[in-house]
Chain A
Amino acid sequence: MNPQQAQTTIGEPNTTAIVFFLAFVGLTLAITYWAARKTKTTSEFFAAGGGVTGLQNGFALAGDFMSAASFLGIAGLVALSGFDGLIYSVGWLVGWPVVTFLIAEPLRNLGKYTFADVVAYRLKQTPVRISAALGTLTVVAFYLIAQMVGAGNLIRMMFGLSYEMAVVIVGVVMILYVLFGGMIATTWVQIVKAVLLLGGASALALMVLAKFSYSPLALFQEAVNQYGPEVLAPGKLVTNPLEAVSLGLALMFGTAGLPHILMRFYTVPNAKAARSSVFYATGLIGYFYLVTFILGFGASVLLGRGAITGVDKGGNMAAPMLAEAVGGTPFLGFISAVAFATILAVVAGLTLSGAAALSHDLWTHVVRKGKSPEHEQLRVARLASLGLGILAILLGIIFKGQNVAFMVGLAFAIAASANFPALLLSMLWKGFTTRGAVASMVTGTLSAVILIFLSPTVQVELLGNKEALFPLKNPGILTMPLAFVVGWVVSLVSPEPEAASRYAEVEHRMHVGAEADEPTPSAPSKTSATATPVQST
């Protein structure tokens, strides 16, 4: 099979793409209109009233997590380097079991809208919430920059729109979802997106495999014939084992500290539904990465690497080009619209989790000391979403043309260092104290940000210096243990008997749940909105 010199219409206005995109935006805005009428309280705004089923939340978690970067980026990486793309896919997935085992159920039982609810449960509200909001907002900011810049570039490439125009469209549509429809609209946008992305990627993989008598091995063998056996072997991606382990730790435990992922566990009625939702999500995301792997090989075999790098040096257009080659311009249009929808769902989730930190943690608990009336909380929540949405657009435009791919890795490193250690210690260790929690979260955030700044990624690749002060690209291996040790040592030297005396209550609630959460036997999860537990603060 000779790779055809691809004649691509990528980057030209594509009627099908525009029709599909408008249909998606129309459908999701209709959902938002419906959701807006059901969003009257903060519980509905931030947690969809706890009325999302386990299966729905599984799809929404997958929709929250599968970014355009992983769809287009990993397919491109596989197309250009073969096996190495799989290393990334595996890394992005392995955090999910950790979320299931350690975090999902206790979080659901102890908190209300943010992970700070759990850490602050028996500690002093003000200092804990401020430091947790610092960690959350840092993670959200870096993740948002990476998503917005990626969105601008991808949409410019696929639709031929200007970069700024693309960023503004993504920002405005996302603001509409979050501002009016809150978590209910965001959840459904994520579900629709997950179904479209999984369906689109599966259809594309089937069309590719049809050319190889439905055998992935025949496809891989053809890649070997074209590019040699190296395509099936590890290449240049992992050379330094320490670097690989450090990135691996950040990915594995960072997922368990991502605010927009953690927040989704408050949308289900009880711990049992939280547990099953991660099971669905892990299956969907794992399946998606396996499909992406096939798409990457399909692109390299059917299009040829030269044609792919001819359109985009990074290989990001491999999947859309493949869609055009096997399904024609209409299918290219469909896949492009799906990639657009994918970006929207991720930024909506991020913005909502940032708004929860601003309004629920900082305004309600720090500024108003927990005495803010409901209507005021909802107004602040909406203002925070609007502000963050506008900020996302501005950041997207400011960082135009910058290499921001490292920021997602950075967000994972901060999440693993700032959020995860404090969250785990607060659930497991009676002796954890306010000062310990604050020290752990602040150390985790600052050490991760500083070490990334001193890393080769920023010093050598971005600033063009000869060498970097810190040798590793990802600081996870140092900063995550550091946050644990600091949290532990500071707690030991600053005992807090009051916090320790309330541990029994935490332990009870963490495992048993609030009374309202008790699942009725034989009826696994109800769709009706159950009362969200009242946070004892």
Chain B
Amino acid sequence: MSQKTKAEELEALAAARWRVAAVLTAAMLISYFGFILLVAFDKPLMGKQIVPGLSLGILLGALVIASAWVFTGIYVLWANNRYDKALHQFRR
């Protein structure tokens, strides 16, 4: 009986991790390919300067780079807190 709940516990843990990983991967895909497709399809928009010296393209490009780091950070925070706690519970 306890063996079964242990297996279920692991199943839930694995499902949670893959779910978070899939959502964050999708977020990264959207932000990167959104940027690339804007560059491909609307060059004038990307070249528009929001303030002198800063075009929308440069701003968005820098934001994609920042978002890569932020998404990674969100994952690490989630894993270090939620996931590792659950894992610790599971190991007992």
Contact = CB atoms under 8 A, between A and B. Distances in A.
Interface of A: 83, 86-87, 89-91, 93-94, 96-98, 100-102, 105, 216-221, 224, 229-230, 232-234, 238-241, 244-245, 248, 252, 272, 275-276, 278-279, 282-283, 286, 289-290, 428, 504, 507-508, 510-512, 518-519, 521
Contacts of A101: 20-22, 24-25, 28, 75
B49 A504 contact: no
9 contacts: A87-B39, A232-B55, A234-B47, A245-B36, A245-B37, A248-B33, A272-B79, A279-B76, A289-B65
Contacts of B54: 217, 220, 232
Given A94-B32, A102-B21, A508-B10, A86 B61 contact: yes
B47 A248 contact: no
A279 B72 contact: yes
Interface centre among A90, A217, A504 (most CB of B within 10 A): A90
Nearest to B54: A217
B51 A286 contact: no
A75 to B, nearest CB: 16
4 nearest A-B residue pairs (beta carbon): A233-B47, A221-B53, A217-B53, A232-B55
Contacts of B64: 90, 93-94
Contacts of A510: 14
Contacts of B58: 83, 86, 220, 232
Nearest to B41: A241
B91 interface: yes
Secondary structure class of chain B's binding surface, majority of residues = helix
B32 A276 contact: no
B17 interface: yes
Interface in B41-81: 41, 43-44, 46-47, 49, 51-55, 57-58, 61-62, 64-66, 68-69, 71-73, 75-76, 79-80
A510 B18 CA distance: 12
Nearest to B44: A233
B79 to A, nearest CB: 6
Nearest to A222: B53
A94 B90 contact: no
Contacts of A239: 40
B27 to A, nearest CB: 9
The listed residue with most A CB atoms (<10 A of its CB), out of B43, B44, B66, is B43
B76 A241 contact: no
Contacts of B46: 83, 233-234
B36 A248 contact: yes
Contacts of B75: 97, 100-101, 275
A511 B36 contact: no
Contacts of B65: 89-90, 93, 286, 289-290
A268 to B, nearest CB: 14
Nearest to B80: A272
Contacts of B7: 504
Contacts of B66: 286
Given A101-B24, A248-B32, A230 B47 contact: yes
Nearest to B85: A521
A507 B47 contact: no
Contact of A272 (B28, B53, B84): B84
Contact of B68 (A86, A94, A521): A94
Contact of A90 (B32, B47, B55, B91): B32
Contacts of B80: 272, 275-276
A220 B20 CA distance: 38
A233 B50 CA distance: 12
Contacts of B62: 86, 290
Contacts of A290: 62, 65
Contact of B87 (A217, A245, A511): A511
Given A244-B39, A290-B62, A229 B49 contact: yes
Contact of A224 (B22, B40, B53): B53
Contact of A244 (B22, B36, B90): B36
Nearest to A220: B53
Contact of B28 (A94, A230, A504, A512): A94
B91 A512 contact: yes
